[in-house]
Chain A
């Protein structure tokens, strides 16, 4: 084939392709979708994202490419995603809370919380307060009594997490000075759980979902939720235990792992958006996905955009209101 033929072929194919697009504007999606994961590969959210991507890809009929863009406490990847075209070929799977509060409040993020649509809060993790199985602390009352003695207890949380805020908030509400507690602010769930299992700290607070690995080595004391979680019936809802002190604290979720698209996607391509949401819903609700989620212990709840928006906003506002406590 000579050069002229190649050029002709190229032009023809471009024209054909162009006309196909023109004829069927609604043929969304017709090529690979990129899913941004603003964290490094291999973690819990990444696993959930890859599973979801694979199921969603089957429903949509195009490949979904999960691209990890870690850094800056999920800021780097979220910022990248915000700058991609809102055409439905860029989606993100991320826990908007607690992370986006920090992006918006302290890092000068150009986006606001309602620049995104939280299509589905697929896994809402709850904070679980645990002690080592060798610990003498049996109940939340024991822990509170210990907290009243300066320097007696040590604890571990992930720095700046919902648990970090919840714990300090609980102490503040009970009138206990923060200095009473030797609080280690770890840099991730793994180190926190290791320290807890090894009784390096007296108690620890971390997402219960994902803590299954240490359940053999710990006792679950309290869950930061309104109701008992059927998976951990022994953990008492925190406000139930606090009732005897006549106080109550707001409930912050540990993290809200959610599918995220830009709001402009819905505004500019309403039909594509509907296609996307419907396919995502079918993927999550399919028996295979539900079974896989059951086996692999990952979140597969369909909350839908409206409820998810409420969950994210409630957590965001609570975090915003109380984050000053970290200072």
Chain B
């Protein structure tokens, strides 16, 4: 099988240059996506679904360019509030808050936004480049992954809990377990109700996004209330476009984290049903684990920010690969894209790739162009957004809380969202006050349900026999890598220790 089909590539330029209209769709698409991604509660999926009815009036290629532009924009949009006010605009940007917000508070807000944008755009670009070369192999590779492999990926993400401990290991793990337990509320994977206390609002479990915003953002805002500005230091509180650009350029100093994060994002994004919200956590975990100074994470280490943003953006490319190669959506966003495909009588899948390789290449190339344009649009967007740091906290906090409340209402369509937000704001504040890492609780909450489902599916598939896992070579390899990555820092530390002793 060839990597690149050159005649089809040649034809794809025909599609790309046929009309200027698809190109006109990119900038509006990116802006809509950025705005939607930045507003908490408006998920990328939601904004894509809202845009869907517009697309029947466009031809197929224009429609796909427009929707993928929205998708690309939303991929970065979530990072802006994550960095500036510790409020992830979507579940994909949770790990962005870990180091992004500390950077902002210490006066590196300009650099952090630029750096995040760079990691995001380059991550997207890398993912589409990889896809461009490997699209013929994606379908086969993805289908090899079953529930067992997905469970391993999820456990990998959950291992984050042990790292997000702040000052106190036991309390960090307890916070994570709390999140996992909250995640079990609602219908279990085998259809039993758990912990709903008969409330219909809890049948689907606790609304994750409002709870997440509550634990991470509003709790932090309460803490901020004592300060006058997000950034205490008057001299550091500047809006500087050159500094944003400097942050953008700085990304090349973190190329290892960037490329690792991008690869993790592609892989995790390609697995159907997993996606950006898992990818950013796995990538952050990997970055922290392989760093000689893991304790600098969570305190404003730019590597953490790069790891998260590179992975959540590149997972878009991975998900796109699965969509094109299999015709199966990897997540909510690609499900809407699939619906748009169907509206134009196009189904993805192996046959689509074989028969319409030129269209596939054209889609991939237009996505690369989008990621380059996102640099320009994104820079202008953050130049506007960064003025938030000039706003006094007494104006900022109520405004953000109102927006978060409205977003929570939008998600659930009733008061369940805002109430969840309020309850978890208090929980988050108490956790932060007594050193029970709030971020660990969020990780537990995000991944608990997913890991449990995959675990149950694995159990059902194996018929309860543990030896089943021996028939799954990919799972075994993944477990091996996982275990090595777990013990490596420990062995490394021991070795270093021994060396110093010998000296």
Residues of A within 8 A of B (CB): 40-44, 46-47, 50, 54, 67-73, 75-77, 79-80, 107, 151, 154, 159-160, 182-187, 190-191, 193-195, 197-201, 212-214, 216-217, 292, 295-298, 326
- Residue interface mask B243-273, A partner, CB < 8 A = 1: 0000000000000000000000000000011
Number of residues from B at the complex interface, CB < 8 A: 52
Interface residues of B in 316-357 (CB under 8 A from A): 326-329, 332, 335-336, 338-339, 342-345, 347-351
Question: Nearest residue in A to B326 (C-beta to C-beta)?
Answer: A197
Q: Using Cβ atoms and an 8 Å threshold, which residues of chain A touch B460?
A: 182-185
- B463 in the interface (beta carbon within 8 A): yes
Knowing A71-B203, A190-B329, A216-B349, the reply to whether A42 touches B343 (Cβ < 8 A) is no
Given contacts A183-B460, A185-B189, A186-B457, contact A42 B146 (CB under 8 A): no
Given contacts A75-B200, A297-B342, contact A43 B351 (CB under 8 A): no
B residues within 8 A CB of A47? 52, 339, 342-343
Interface residues of B, Cβ cutoff 8 Å to A: 45-46, 48-50, 52-53, 56, 142-147, 187, 189-191, 200-201, 203-204, 272-273, 326-329, 332, 335-336, 338-339, 342-345, 347-351, 412-414, 453, 456-457, 460-463
A217 partner, pick from B48, B189, B350, beta carbons under 8 A: B350
Contacts A/B (CB < 8 Å), 6 sampled = A72-B187, A76-B204, A193-B328, A194-B328, A197-B328, A216-B349
Q: Are B145 and A71 in contact (CB under 8 A)?
A: no
Q: How far is the CB of B74 from chain A (nearest CB, A)?
A: 14
| Chain A residues closer than 8 Å to B413, beta-carbon distance | 67-70, 76-77, 80
List, in ascending order, chain B residues with CB within 8 A of A186's CB.
457
Asked, given contacts A47-B339, A80-B413, A213-B348, whether A195 binds B203 with beta carbons under 8 Å apart, the answer is: no
Given contacts A200-B147, A200-B461, contact A190 B273 (CB under 8 A): yes
Chain B hits for A199, CB < 8 A: 143
The reply to whether A41 and B45 contact each other, CB–CB distance below 8 Å, is: yes
Decide: A107 near B272, CB < 8 A? Known: A54-B53, A67-B413. no
Of A73, A107, A216, chain B has the most CB atoms within 10 Å of the CB of A216
Q: Tell me the complex Cα distance, A190–B142, Å.
A: 14
| Known A46-B49, A69-B413, A182-B461; contact A296-B345, beta-carbon cutoff 8 A | yes
What distance in Å separates the Cβ of A164 from its nearest Cβ neighbour in chain B?
A: 10
Measured CA separation A184–B191 after assembly (Å): 13
Q: Are the C-beta atoms of B203 and A212 separated by less than 8 Å?
A: no
Residue of A nearest to B50 (CB): A41
| Closest chain A residue, CB of each to CB of B465 | A151
Interchain CB contact under 8 A, B145 and A198: yes
Q: Which of the listed residues A50, A213, A297 has the most CB atoms from chain B within 10 Å of its own CB?
A: A213
- Contact of A80 with B453 at beta-carbon distance under 8 Å, contacts A159-B191, A185-B189, A296-B342 already known: no
Question: Is B143 a contact of A190 with CB atoms below 8 Å?
Answer: no
A107 to B200 alpha-carbon distance, docked (Å): 8
Q: Which chain B residues lie closer than 8 Å to A76 at the CB level? A: 200-201, 203-204, 413-414
**Candidates B50, B146, B335, B351; contact of A195 at CB < 8 Å:** B146
Indicate which residue in B189, B336, B461 contacts A159 across the interface (CB closer than 8 Å).
B189
Report whether B146 and A198 are in contact in the complex, using a CB–CB cutoff of 8 Å: yes
State whether A190 and B345 are in contact (beta carbons under 8 Å apart), knowing that A159-B190, A216-B351 are contacts in the complex: no
Across the interface, which residues of A come within 8 angstroms of B463, CB to CB? 151, 154, 182
A292–B343 alpha-carbon span in the complex (Å): 8
Chain B residues with CB under 8 A of A40: 45, 332
Q: Are A213 and B326 in contact, CB atoms less than 8 angstroms apart?
A: yes
